[in-house]
Amino acid sequence: MAYVMLAGSLPEDLDEQPYQFRRVLVTHVRANIQHSILVKKEITDRYFDDAHEKFGRLLSEQGYDSEAEKFQIQVLDMGNRFIGKKHPDTTTAMNDLAISYEILGKYADAEKLKIQVLDMRNSLLGEDHPDTICTMGSLAVTYSSLGKHADAEKLEIHVFNMRNRLLGEDHPDTITAMYNLAISYENLGKYANAEKLKIQVLDMRNRLLGEDPDTIWTMGSLAVTYSSLGKHADAEKLEIQVLKMRSRLFGKDNPDIITAMGNLAITYENLGKYTDAEKLKIQVLDMRNRLLGEDHPYTINAMENLAKTYHHLKKLKDAEKLEIQILDIRKRILGQGHLDTTKRVTLLTEIRSQTNTNTES
């Protein structure tokens, strides 16, 4: 009964619900999954339906990536066993698992699965089917993660041309394909090409959508390109707009608002406005800590960013305190010999050396 209630509480598109609700619900989903596996394993088989996909996506979205991976492997095994490898739901399960692999940094595993999904969808649905084209775009993202930017660019150009031909230039999917191609250009260092495409995307989204989340996202992305081109003042103007618009549209704890604050802080830093950057980064860290917990990768990243700003401001004692916290977390999660752990040891040693030098002076 709990399983059915939880499944009914989640829509197909998770974004249709408030983020904070999903943040609360995931605790109950995790407990229910553990109960099903440890106590009543037959429940999992009995209720093989789209709820499994929802639960897997929820776990992945909320940062429980290892649990999502295990769950989605089970879903794929069950799909192969009960409905066959060629069933669309099995292909979807394979695709979801590939996405989890990607989140976990297992890009080679994700690539293998996505190539299989693309082959199956090409065979079953044809090249012009929306799911096939979507898979091509997803594989391009994986290629980028693997550093295969030229391969990604080829796929993105193909996807964009197909979207244009089948849907027209004003269709949302065509505009998304144009945006993704801009990202591929950016990964290849073709910043001027990326800038031109992103300006087109922003103009089209402004015209068709107005002050919509996708429009705001494009503004933030264009700001990143401006930064890459050294246009930091232009980036600052856009990012201030993005933060104001997101604050107006979403609740204060929305992840996109935190991202906007973090991006603006980095731009302040690029402009030498370290005090302004510090204020924003402290807010980002507080929100990450409260919403995600100390051990979440985003929280650790926020700690590292703030420590960097303290370093710029010569607040070496504050930087040292943060680096000690980061090092303790890295040791506990990754182990003593991990590259990220040893990197923090080096940084902490450098900060202590500078602190001692300043004290002696």
Measuring CA to CA, which residue among 324, 314, 317 is closest to residue 348?
A: 324
Does the pLDDT at position 268 exceed 90?
Answer: yes
Query: For 70-74, 195-199, 285-289, 305-309, which range has the lowest pLDDT when averaged over its residues?
Result: 70-74
Domain ranges of the chain: 1-104, 129-209
Give the DSSP per-residue string, 13-30.
SGGGS-HHHHHHHHHHHH
pLDDT over 70 at 230, yes or no: yes
- Of the pLDDT bands very low, low, confident and very high (cuts 50, 70, 90), residue 170 is very high
Asked whether this chain's domains 1-104 and 129-209 adopt the same fold, the reply is yes
Predicted confidence at residue 56, as pLDDT, reads: 72
pLDDT of residue 162: 94
Domain with residues 1-104, CATH architecture: Alpha Horseshoe (1.25)
Average pLDDT rounded to a whole number, residues 59-80: 68
> Contact at 8 Å (CB) between 5 and 31?
no
pTM assigned to the model: 0.66
More confident residue, 356 or 165: 165
Distance, in Å, from the CA atom of 59 to the CA atom of 75, rounded to the nearest integer, reads 14
Distance from C-alpha of 314 to C-alpha of 355, rounded to nearest angstrom: 9
Could you name the CATH architecture of 129-209? Alpha Horseshoe (1.25)
Which pLDDT score is estimated for 154? 95
pLDDT of 44 reads 47
- Quote the pLDDT of residue 70: 65
Mean pLDDT of the chain: 85
